[in-house]
Structure 1
Amino acid sequence: MVAFGVFLSGFVISEPAPYELVMAAQIGLWFLLGLKISRANAPLLVLLLLFNVGGMFSLTVMKDMSGGPMYVAVSLFLALSSVFYAAIIEDEHRRLALIFKAWVAAAVITSMLGIIGYFHVLPGFDVFTLYDRAKGAFQDPNVFGPYLVPPALYLIYRLLNGKLSEAPLAIAGLMVLSLGVLLSFSRAAWALFAFSAIALVAIMLLKERTGAFRLKILSLSIAAILVMMLGMAAAMQSKKVYDLFESRAKLVQEYDGARLGRFERHKMGFLMSMERPLGLGPMMLGKMFGEDEHNIWLKSLTTYGWLGFVCYIILIWWTLIIGFRNLLRDRPWQPYLMIAWVMVAGHALIGNVIDIDHWRHVYLLFGIVWGCAALESRHQRAEREKRLHPAPPPPAQADRSLLDY
C-alpha cells in the first residue's frame, strides 16, 4: 500500500487525484491500526497544522469562496501525508528503500509519457505535453520536471555506490529521467538537477574517507556527466528542442521583468500582504493579476497569512537543521536522508521563483527527513540505555572435572 501510494504521486492531472484518495484511506487505516506519532515527529505535526490553520483563517477574508475550501482541504491532506510518511519511516527504516523504488518506477513511466508525447511517437500522447513542453501525467511542466529529480538523484547514488552489474539499469533510468527534465523546459527543474547532483557528489566525497573510493566517485561522476551531455547533444539535434531550449535558457524571460511581470507581482504581493495579517485567500492574487505568485514565500503570506508564513519558514529551517545534524552519520538510512535533505535545500532555493505549495513530493521529502531524524533520536536513546544499563555478563561455565569429582 505504501509503494502503491508513492507510485500514484507521479500521476496528478487533476485535484483531487487518485493519490489523494488512496493515501487518505491508507493514512486513516494505519492510524486506526495503531501507528503512533512520536515526540520526535510532533514538531512537524504542530507546524503543519498551524500552517493550515492560517489557511483556514484566510478563507474568512474571501468574498468569492469558489475553490478556496478545496484548496485548504488538499493542503491539510498533504500536511497529514507528510506526518504519515515520517511515522511509518520511524516505525521501520526499511520502508525507505520501498518508497524510493516506487518513486523511481513512477518517475520513469511519467517521464516516458512526456517524452513520447513531446516527439509525437504515438497518436493521442499530445495530452502529456503543454505549450510544446513535456509535462508527463502532471498538470504543469514546472511540477513534472522537479518531480523527476529526487529519483534521478537516487539512481546517481546507486550508480556511484552500487554494484557494477546494476550500473546499466541505473544509467538507462537516469537517461530517461534526464531527458524528461530537459524536455520539461523548466528552468527551476534544470537548476534543481544541477544543484542537487553537485551537492550529492560533494557530500559523498566528504563522507567517504578512503582515497580509492573518492577516486571511484569522481571517475563515475565525470562519466555520468559525459553520458548526460551526449544525451542532451543528441536531443539538441532536433530544431524544435534547440529553439525552445535557447528561448528558455535565458535567465530573465519577458514575463519575468515586464510590467506586472513575475518580479513586479512579487513586490506588489508582499506590500499587500503586509497590510493583511490573515492573507488574501487561496488563489486570490492570481485572480487579481492574472498570474499566480510563483514564489513560495509570497504564497505562504497570501494564502496562509502571517501565521502560515512564520510556520513555513520555521519548518524549512528546522528540517534543514535536523537533517544536516545527522547527514554524515553511518546509518542504514543515511543515503535516503542525504538525498532528501539535498532535495529540501534545492526546493527551498527554487521556491524563490516558483510555487511549491501543493507539490506532493515536497511533503514526502519533509516526511523522509523528519522520519530519519526520529530514527536517529531513537538510536541515540538506545545507545544511552546500553551505556547506563549494560547487560550482565554471561554466567561462568562450571568446571566439569570438579562436577565429575
Structure 2
Amino acid sequence: MSSPATASASTLARFDLRSGIRKSAAHRIALVLVWLTIAASSIVFTEPAPVDALTIGLMILLPVVGLVEAKPMLWAGFAVVLTMTACGEISAALARETGIAVSHMTVSLYLVAAWFLFAAFIAKEPERHTRLVLNAYLLTGILAAICGIAGYLDLFPGAFDLFTRYGRASGPFKDPNVFGPFLVAPLLTALHLWLIRPPRRGLLPLLAAAILAVGILFSFSRGAWAAAAIGFAIYGYVYAITADTNRQRAKLVALVLFGIAALGLILTAALQSEAISDLLEQRAALTQSYDEGPDGRFGGQMKAVGLILENPLGIGSAIFTRFYHHEEVHNVYLSMFLNAGWIGGLLYLMTCTGTLVFGFRHVFKKSATSPLFLIAFAALAGNICEGVLIDSDHWRHFYLLLALVWGMMAASPRQARPARILGDRRPILLQRPLLIPPSRRLARIVAPMRRSIGLEPVSKSTGKIPGWRRDRGRIIAPA
C-alpha cells in the first residue's frame, strides 16, 4: 500500500509522453497562466490592461518553476534593448516635462522585460511553447475580430459605442490602428492550418480566417492592410519555396485565388452601403487631408527630423505632442530618435533590421519549428514595416511576436562550419607542420593527416605520439 507522501507525489506529478519528463502541478499551472495571459492580450479597454498584471505575475512564476532558458543570444539582445531604454531615460531626465517622459520610458522598460521573459520561455521548449502561444493568440484574435465586426455593424444595443472608435472597428482595443495589426498573426495562423490540414478539417480554419480578414478590413487601418499584405506575401513566398510537393504549392495557389474572389465579394457587398463605401474610398486613398500641410502628418515628420538633428540626446518621450506638434510623429523610427536620442534610435533601427535579416535567413532552415517560425516572422515583418506609418513602440503584440522570433532563433542549434583545411597530398618531408589546433566543433583536417606540433602528448620512452603509425611513408592518425 502506498504511503500518503507517495500518493501526494503521484498526484502532483504527471509524465509527459512528448518530452519524456515529469511535469509538476506548478509547472502545468504556469502553462495555463501563460495561455490565459496571451488570451487576455486583446482586452485593452484601459491602461494598464489585465494582461499587464498577468505578465508581471509570470515574471516571478516562470523562472521559479524553471520554464525559461535565457540563451546567450537573448542576453545579447536584452543588453542592446536595455541600452536603448537607458538612452531614453537619459533623454527623459533632460526633457521639458520629466515626469511624463520618465513614465513613458518606464512602460518601455516593462515591455522590454516582457519580451525577454517570453523569448526565454519560447527558448526553453520552442515547439510546444510556441504552439501554446499561437493557439491562445488565435482564439483571442477571433474573439476580438467578432467584437469588432459586431460593433461596426451594430449587431446589438451598445455594440457600436463599445467596439468602435472614429467610426471604425476597434474591438476590445482603444485604437483601430492597433486592433487591425493585432489580427495579422492570427490570420496567418488560420491560413496555415487550412493549408496543412485535409479539406474536411480545413473548414473551421477557413471560417476563422474569413472572420479575421473582415475584422482587419473593418478596422479601416491602412497600416493594418499593408501589414497583412506584407505578412501574407512573405508567408506565401517562403511556403512556396520550401513546400515538399507541388500539391502543397497548388493548394497555396488555390488559397490565393479563393481569397481574391472572397475579397471581391466582400467589397461588393460592403459598397452597397453608402456609409461603408464612403469610408472605404476615403481610407483607401494614399494621402488624407490631415496628412498634408505644415500641421499635417508629413509636416509633423519634417519637424521631427529637424528636432532630431538639433538634439543628439533626444527631447524625451511624449514631449513632441505637448510642445511641437498636435499629434504623434506617426513613424516609430523617428519617434525613437526623438525619445532616446541618436544612439537609442540607431539601436532600435538595428534591432528591427537585424531581426528581419537574421529571421529571413533562419526561415529557410528545416526544423520542427519551421512552420511556426514562418508565421511569427511574417507577421512581425508586416508590423515592422508598418512602423513607417505609425508609432508602434508600445504595442504589446509587437513585443510578443519579437519574443517568438528571437526565442526560436536562440533555441536553434548552431550548425558547424564545413572543413576549411584539406589534406596535403605532397610527400611527408615537403608538408608543412600544422601549428593551429583543429576546431572543437568539427574536424577541419581530412585524410591523409599531418603530424601536429605541440598538440599531442609524446611518449618519453619512444619519442613517438601514442596511437599514430607510419604506413608507406605516411603518418596515419589513430582511428
Match of 1:27 among 37, 45, 59: 59
SS of corresponding position for 1:67: helix
Is contact 2:91-2:339 (8 Å) kept? yes
8 Å CA contact 2:69–2:123 kept in 1: the answer is: no
**2:90 pairs with 46, 57, 73, which one?**
57
Q: 1:10 to 1:162 in 2, by over 3 A?
A: same
Contact map agreement 1:89 1:371 (CA 8 A) in 2: yes
Q: Distance in 2 between matches of 1:219 and 1:239?
A: 32
Is 1:237 matched up with 2:272? Answer: yes
**Matching residue of 1:133:** 168
Name the structure 2 match of 1:349: 385
Which of structures 1 and 2 has the larger relative contact order (alpha carbons within 8 angstroms, sep 6+)? 1
Residue identity opposite 1:41 in structure 2: L
| Richer in helix (by share) | 1
**TM-superposed deviation, 1:158:** 1.3
Instruction: Please state if 1:175 is matched with 2:210.
Output: yes
Change (3 A) 1:349 1:149: same
Counterpart Cα distance in 1 of 2:232 and 2:270: 21
Aligned in 2, Cα 1:380/1:151: closer, same or farther, shift over 3 Å?
A: farther
Distance 1:285 1:80, change over 3 A: same
Contact 2:195/2:248 (8 A) holds in 1: no
| Equivalent in the alignment of 1:365 | 401
Task: Please say if 1:257 is aligned against 2:292.
Answer: yes
Q: What is the deviation of 1:75?
A: 0.8
After TM superposition, the structure 1 stretch with the greater mean CA deviation from structure 2, 32-41 or 289-298, is 32-41
Q: CA deviation at 1:217?
A: 1.8
Q: Provide the residue aligned with 2:460 in structure 1.
A: none
Q: Is the 8 A contact 2:145 2:215 kept in 1?
A: yes
Partner of 2:135: 101
- Structure-to-structure mapping, 1:60-71, within 5 angstroms: 60-71=93-104
Structure 2 Cα separation of the partners of residues 198 and 314 of structure 1 = 23
CA distance in 1, matches of 2:297, 2:442: 57
Instruction: Indicate if the aligned counterparts of 2:163 and 2:169 stay in contact, CA closer than 8 A.
Output: yes
User: Which whole-Å CA distance do the structure 1 matches of 2:201 and 2:264 have between them?
Assistant: 21
The correspondence of residues 211-222 of structure 1 with structure 2, limited to 5 A, is: 211-222=246-257
Query: 2:222 maps to what in 1?
Result: 187
Deviates more, 1:205-214 or 1:288-297: 205-214
For structure 1, which runs of at least 5 residues remain unmatched after alignment?
389-405
Cα deviation, residue 18, structure 1? 1.0
Partner residue, 2:262 = 227
Find 1:149's aligned residue among 162, 180, 184. 184
CA distance in 1, matches of 2:149, 2:108: 30
Q: 1:318 aligns with which of 339, 342, 354?
A: 354
Q: Computing the radius of gyration over CA atoms, which structure comes out larger, 1 or 2?
A: 2
Mapped to 2, the partners of 1:160 and 1:380 lie a distance apart of 33
Supply the distance in 1 between the matched residues of 2:337 and 2:330 (Cα, whole angstroms).
12
Find the counterpart in structure 2 of residue 122 from structure 1.
156
Report deviation, 1:151: 0.6
TM-score (norm 2): 0.77
> In structure 1, what is the equivalent of residue 34 of structure 2?
2
In the alignment, what sits opposite 2:372?
A: 336
Contact 1:179 1:232 in 2 (8 A): no
Deviation at 1:239, TM superposition (A): 1.9
CA contact (8 A) 1:257 1:264 kept: yes
Aligned length: 386
- Distance of 1:166 and 1:285 partners within structure 2: 51
SS of 1:9's partner is helix
Contact kept in structure 2, 1:196 and 1:346, CA below 8 Å: yes
Which amino acid is the alignment partner of residue 362 of structure 2? Answer: N
- Give yes or no for contact 1:40–1:377 (8 Å, CA) kept in 2: no
The residue aligned with 1:88 is 121
Cα distance change of structure 1 residues 162 and 289 upon mapping to structure 2, 3 Å threshold: same
| Structure 2 counterpart of 1:341, one-letter code | F
Q: Report how far residue 258 of structure 1 moved.
A: 2.2
Unaligned runs of 5+ in 2: 1-32, 418-438, 444-479
**What's the offset of the Cα at 1:87?**
0.7
Q: How far apart are residue 380 of structure 1 and its match?
A: 6.8
Deviations 1:25-65 (A, max 9, x none): 11122123443311121122112111111121121122323
2:169/2:219 contact within 8 Å kept: yes
Residue type at the aligned position of 1:316: C
Q: Quick check: 1:160–1:221 contact (8 Å CA) kept in 2?
A: no
Residue 42 and residue 380 in structure 1: after superposition, are their counterparts in 2 closer, same or farther (change >3 A)?
A: farther
Question: C-alpha separation between the residues in 2 aligned to 1:58 and 1:283?
Answer: 11
**Equivalent residue letter for 1:36:** E
Q: Scaled by the length of structure 1, what TM-score is found?
A: 0.90
> In the alignment, what sits opposite 1:275?
310
Per the alignment, residue 198 of structure 1 pairs with: 233
* Matching residue's letter, 1:170: P
Structure 2 CA distance for aligned equivalents of residues 60 and 304 of structure 1: 11
Note the C-alpha offset of 1:235: 2.7
Counterpart residue number, 2:108: 75
Identity %: 32
- Does the 8 Å CA contact 1:281/1:303 hold for their aligned counterparts? yes
Amino acid in the other structure paired with 1:324: F
| Residues 119-161 of structure 1, C-alpha deviations (whole Å, 9 max, x = no match) | 1111122121111011111111111111011110111111122
Q: Partners of 2:298 and 2:441 in 1: how far apart? A: 56
Query: Is the 1:135–1:141 Cα contact (8 Å) retained in structure 2?
Result: yes
Q: CA deviation at 1:385?
A: 9.3
What's the offset of the Cα at 1:316?
0.9
Find the counterpart in structure 1 of residue 341 from structure 2. Answer: 305
Q: 1:3 to 1:379 in 2, by over 3 A?
A: farther
Letter in 2 for 1:156: L
